[in-house]
Amino acid sequence: MARMKFLCDAERCIECNACVTACKNEHEVPWGVNRRRVVTLKDGEPGEKSISVACMHCTDAPCSAVCPVDCFYTTADGIVLHDKNLCIGCGYCFYACPFGAPQYPQQSAFGVRGKMDKCTFCAGGPDADGSAEERTKYGANRIAEGKLPLCAEMCSTKALLAGDGDTVSEIYRERVLRRGGRPQTWGWDKAYGAS
C-alpha cells in the first residue's frame, strides 16, 4: 500500500501560487479558507526560498491526538481525513498542528469557528466517494478517480510533489544527485518522524 506524502522542493518553487489557486478552485473552498499557502522566506533578500505548505498528513497526527470528539482518521494510504459531521469547531487541532493546516470558515466571538476544513490530499471525506455530500463538505475526491492532488499535478516547476512517499523521495533523490547540493526534505522529520 502506498504511503502518501507531500514534498516541496525549495530550490524549484517560484512562488507562483498556482497550487493555492488550483486547490481553491478544485475544491470550491469558501472565502477566507486556504487549504494550501506559499510562504516565502527572506523575501527579496539573498537566500530567498519559497515553500508551498498544506496539511502534511502526519504519521502521528497531532490534530488527531487532541481532537476531543475523535473525528480524525488515517486512510490505508496514510492520508489524514476528518469527519465534519462530528467536528464541533473547538480549535484544538489548530492549536496542535505545527503547519497551521486546520482552517475555519469563521473566527468570531464566543469561539464560533464553524466546521474545521483542511487539505484532504484530494481524497474527500468519510461520505460515499464522489457523492454530492462529499463534494460540498470536503471538495473533490481525485484519489478515488485514480488521480493525484491537483496542486502538485499542475505545479509548473514540479517543485511540489505528491504521491507515494517512496516514489516522491526517489524522484527527489535523483534531482539532488543531478544538480548537486544537499537534500532538503522540508517538514518531513516533523510530519513523518525520523525515518
Partner 1 sequence: MKKINRRPTAGWRDRGKRWLAWPLMGLLAILLLMPVAVHWLSEPAQAQASSQTQEGSNERANYWRAVRDGVSGYTAVQGRETNVLIQNGGENWRSLRQGPIQFYSAWLLAFVIFAAGLMHIINGPQKIEKGRSGLLIPRWNLFERVLHWYVAVLFIVLALTGLSLLYGREVMIPLLGKSGFAAYAGYAKNAHNYLGPFFVVGMLLMIAIWLKFNMPIKADWEWIKSAGGMWGKKHPPAGKSNAGEKLMYWQFVVTGSALIATGLILDFPNFGQTREMMQWSHVIHVVAAVIAIVTLLGHAYMALFGVEGALEGMINGKVDVEWAKQHHDLWYEEEIAKGVRPEPVAKPPAVTRRAEPQST
Residues of this chain that bind partner 1 (CB under 8 A)? 17, 20, 32, 34, 37-43, 47, 49, 51, 53, 62, 65-71, 85-91, 94-100, 107-113, 182, 184, 186-187, 190
Which CB, 66 or 148, lies closer to partner 1? 66
- Minimum CB distance to partner 1 smaller for 2 or for 34: 34
Residue 96 or 154: the one with the smaller Cβ distance to partner 1 is 96
Write out the three cell numbers for 189: 522529520
Provide, rounded to whole angstroms, the least separation between the CB of residue 11 and partner 1: 11
| Least Å from the CB of residue 20 to partner 1 | 7
| Nearest CB to partner 1, comparing residues 94 and 121 | 94
Reported in sequence order, the residue ranges of the chain that DSSP labels E, i.e. its strands, are: 4-8, 37-41, 49-53, 72-74, 80-82, 160-164
Give the shortest CB-159-to-partner 1 separation in angstroms: 15
Report H helices in the chain: 18-27, 62-66, 92-96, 132-138, 150-153, 165-179, 188-192
Which own/partner contact pairs does 100-103 have at CB distance under 8 Å and 24+ positions apart? 100/53, 101/35, 101/53, 101/54, 101/55, 101/56, 101/63, 102/55, 102/63, 103/33, 103/34, 103/35
In angstroms, rounded to a whole number, what is the distance separating the alpha carbons of residues 172 and 10? 11
Task: Give least dist CB 145 to partner 1, A.
Answer: 27
User: Which residue number, 47 or 146, has a Cβ lying nearer to partner 1?
Assistant: 47
Burial of 161 (0-12, 13-18, 19+ CB in 10 A): buried
Within 13 Å of residue 144, how many CA atoms lie on the same side as its CB?
Answer: 15
* Least Å from the CB of residue 2 to partner 1: 25
Give 21 or 167: the residue with its C-beta nearer to partner 1: 21
CB of 188 to partner 1, least distance (A): 11
